[in-house]
Structure 1
Amino acid sequence: MSRRSKPSRFWPLVAVVVLLFLVNLPMGHFWWTNHRLDADGEVATATVRHAKALGTRHYVDFQLPAEVDPDRTTYSAEVTEAAYDRATRTDTIEVTYLPGKPATNRAVGYRPPGRVGLLLTLLADLAILGMLFLMFWARRHDVLEIVATKDVERCKPDDTIEDLPDGQVLVRGDVQEIEDDHLLMLSGGRKVRVVLAGFDNPVGHQQPAQAQGRRVPRR
């Protein structure tokens, strides 16, 4: 049974864009939230429900006023030592919030994610881009070689690599290079070297062609 393959030229880019989006989503959400709070936020005095210090890190649990948050949800935030001292002394803490969206808030003295989070995000971005580079490098250097079993023919523009019975391969793509004894085609982003083995090639450079031949095993 024949197998037709039409490699997409764009799926690696789509995959990379999705991965970059997912990796950068937490940091992007953090920056966007802070931008919205800076632009549209209002300040309220929240009630401190609980506060604790773990070594050099300080945490405060608080509730916004009922007119701001009717559900009286308890929120938590890591704050600076100075903000922690004021909160434990007064049992209150100033909080910037978005009207109608009290869950989007930022306590005074809030400690944002450190450089570790940013560094990990950058390293992940570099790893993804490196993966994309390797994929394109592999595709550029991965050459399918076939020995022609019939003349090369002109055809309509197409990108097809189809396995046929008895180890035969049918290739449709654009002619990239022409030599006396072989030609190089590009099909779906993959290079195909067609050894003419005495058969004719009437197709010119950068024109769509169809070639059929026997697959040469990789060395």
Structure 2
Amino acid sequence: MVKCLSQLVGWRTLVRAVSTLAFGLFLTLQFWVFTPTPAGATGVYSMPNVAVGEPTWVIDQAETMSRVTRNQISGELGKLAKQTGAEVRFVTIHRLDYGETIENFAQKLFQKWFPTPEDQANQVLLVLDNVTNTIAVQTGDGVKALLSDQMAESVAQETMMVPLRDGNKYNQAFLDASERLVAVLSGQPDPGPPVVDDTVQTEGTFARAEETDDRSATIVVVVLLVLATVIPMATYYLYQAIQS
């Protein structure tokens, strides 16, 4: 009898230890999966230095562009600088520092690279954060006669955003922006932003049987996953209540 009681107490201790360990692992997994981290955030002073006249036209820290795209854009912007003196630079980053905005980042980087009005005069800086797909443009006074603030904003928010909304097509977005900026700063007519097809599809407004089946299957899977999470936790707390 004593031996049986000892074994029973031993099993209860083992079950309690295993349950506690499983619950701890569950909480740890929840923490790592759902807690955001600032890893990889980019600050202005972590950016490389660039000076007026330096042939660095693309800094793709977020690795959004292919090598072919970077080379093509660098060639076009380098030719533009030689022919007109206007220097355009594209910068991509992956994640801003906490509390930073893309506009503030672009302004600070512009002032870091080109600290005086003379340095800033013929400069255009376009910065994209690929986590939020937000874009900001800074321009010097010397290019505003050709590239107004309104037009620069259109390049960022229209020319680039159309390809980005269509599946994050970064290569196309930067190629389109480069083409438009080169045309405008070369004194050519502004080609304008891309035309967006707003055609409304009137057919097929009702879900097909296959789509309904897929949705039902998805709902079942979600419910099963929730139950698989809730039931073990509820069992653990019930067990603790019984033991106390």
Is TM-score (shorter-chain normalized) higher than 0.5?
no
Q: Which has the higher contact order (CA 8 A, sep 6+)?
A: 1
Higher helix share: 2
TM-score by length of 2: 0.24
Larger Rg: 1
Q: TM-score when scaled to structure 1?
A: 0.26
Higher strand proportion (structure 1 or 2): 1
